[in-house]
Amino acid sequence: MVITVFGLGFVGLTTALGFAHLGYQVYGVDANPERSRQIAGGELPFLEPGMDAVLQEHLGLNFFVVDDPKEAVARSEYIFYCVGTPYGEDGAADLTYLFQAMDTTIEAIEDEKFRVLVTKSTIPPGTTAEQIVPHVQKKGEACYRLGIANNPEFLREGKCWEDFLHADRIVLGCSDPISEEMLQKLYEPMGIPIFCVSPTTGEFIKYLSNTLLATLISYSNEMAEAADVFGDIDVAKAFRILHMDKRWGGCNMTSYVYPGCGYGGYCLPKDTCALHAQAKAKGYEPNILGEVISLNAKRFSVIAEKITKGLTKDSTIGILGLSFKPDSDDVRDTPAAKIIGLLQEQGYTRVLAYDPAAMEVFQRQYPQLCVQMAESAGQVCREADRIAILTAWEEFRESVAACTNPIIDCRYMLTAEEIGIPGTEGHVAKSQATTGGSHG
């Protein structure tokens, strides 16, 4: 089986290498020449544990990065689209990259072989039926040999490879039996349960997942703010004890039912907005989602206020963590950027930050934010007047333990003892909250 994957980001590169690992012949195409060059040179363009070795294993053997997709498309029966679907107007999903990649595919087809075009990018319910199918049909006669399918991706950044290999389920949203059969055959060797649904159901399942996670996070943040108003509540401890409820059946959702700095990263913010916009466009007002979005937006100001309370404008604010979650260098929609932006708007211009992986990419992506990067978490703890933990990197614990300046634990990752408040049993806190409300 021969596969072409458009878009070699977190999802696309994982998909391409995953299929190569299953023994298929895979071609990868990315519109960003720098990214293509890096991958073709055997370098991962982002931090993703475990994927380096897989890239080395398959590059040039059965995984090839190509600049011109024409030949790759000609050889392939499966074309996967893993391009970005960022915020568009009014929060709706912008499908420009997806249609560009589909047009490139169609232009490259010169024979009558049946091909299935599979969207792995996250697209709002109804997109395949209402936009992709008519778009592809308009493009020409050869299209009667094309199947159109949706195959949502549920992987988590930082665990992309593990999540590909051990996915909980594979969802195939197909509208024709040939595509369904082809995709089942492709995925069968993985031994993962496969669910065949309509394309719109497939699209919806992805949003069900991400909007529920966003809702849990906003719920947790709202409860943490209510707890602050009630007073005398150890918020971290309360949530960690909540997680011990047997009714959750040991599911691993605790990092989402935990307060933090607000959800960030590439997916939850844009997908929550996109589903909200799509439902509204169809005439339904999703009130809970509306509140989830607005609570999240307000959360950044609540955190900024906590950090600056009682500080003077010439104080140095120390920031620990810039990526949207630990073990990742992804800073797209990271709460740290929102919070630092608010601090600077309020006149706090002396910001000293440290992140184990994301400092360079943060400076590239947010050149408007004036942040001095430190050499270590220890330097931040020594030199800042007040320190805010914005990402729950495990490695911060040591520097924080030795820190004598005030710390605002915006991720609730520390035990009360670690920040000098007696009364928390360390074993409860450390085993339950290693992710410290780091969502994504």
Task: Tell me which residues touch ligand NAD (CB under 6 A).
Answer: 6-12, 29-32, 35, 82-85, 97, 100-101, 121-122, 153, 155, 157, 266-267
Nearer to ligand NAD, 122 or 211 (CB): 122
Whole-number Å distance between alpha carbons of 128 and 160? 25
The secondary structure of 101-158 as a DSSP string is HHHHHHHH--S---EEEEE-S---TTHIIIIIHHHHHHT-GGGGGEEEEE------TT
Q: How far is the CB of 163 from ligand NAD (least distance, A)?
A: 9
Nearer to ligand NAD, 85 or 438 (CB): 85
Whole-number Å distance between alpha carbons of 210 and 21? 28
Residue 348 CA from chain centroid, whole number: 29
Q: How far is the CB of 127 from ligand NAD (least distance, A)?
A: 11
Nearer to ligand NAD, 153 or 409 (CB): 153
Residue 120 CA from chain centroid, whole number: 14
Nearer to ligand NAD, 38 or 62 (CB): 38
Q: How far is the CB of 265 from ligand NAD (least distance, A)?
A: 7
Q: How far is the CB of 210 from ligand NAD (least distance, A)?
A: 8
Nearer to ligand NAD, 330 or 355 (CB): 330
Q: How far is the CB of 179 from ligand NAD (least distance, A)?
A: 20
Phi, psi of 37 (to 5 degrees): -60, -45
- Does an H or E element contain 387, and which? strand 386-389
Nearer to ligand NAD, 42 or 347 (CB): 42
Q: What is the amino acid identity at position 175?
A: S
* Residue 196 known to be catalytic: no
Whole-number Å distance between alpha carbons of 23 and 437? 38
Q: 51: alpha, beta or left, given left = phi > 0 and alpha = psi -120 to 50?
A: alpha
Strand order in the sheet with 78-81: 63-65, 25-29, 2-6, 78-81, 115-119, 146-150, 170-174, 194-197
Q: How far is the CB of 396 from ligand NAD (least distance, A)?
A: 23
Q: How far is the CB of 104 from ligand NAD (least distance, A)?
A: 6
Residue from 133, 149, 154, 145 nearest 198 by CA: 149
Extended strands (E) in 154-226: 170-174, 194-197
Q: How far is the CB of 318 from ligand NAD (least distance, A)?
A: 29
Beta-ladder partners of 79: 4, 117
**Beta-strand pair 351-354/407-409:** unpaired
Nearer to ligand NAD, 108 or 279 (CB): 108
Which of 82, 160, 267, 381 does the annotation list as catalytic?
267
Nearer to ligand NAD, 6 or 63 (CB): 6
Q: Are 346 and 308 in contact (CB under 8 A)?
A: yes
- Cα–Cα separations (whole angstroms), residue 421 to 229, 237, 415, 424: 19, 12, 8, 8
> Which residue has the closest beta carbon to ligand NAD?
9
Whole-number Å distance between alpha carbons of 121 and 274? 13
**Beta-strand pair 194-197/372-373:** unpaired
**What residues are labeled active site?**
267
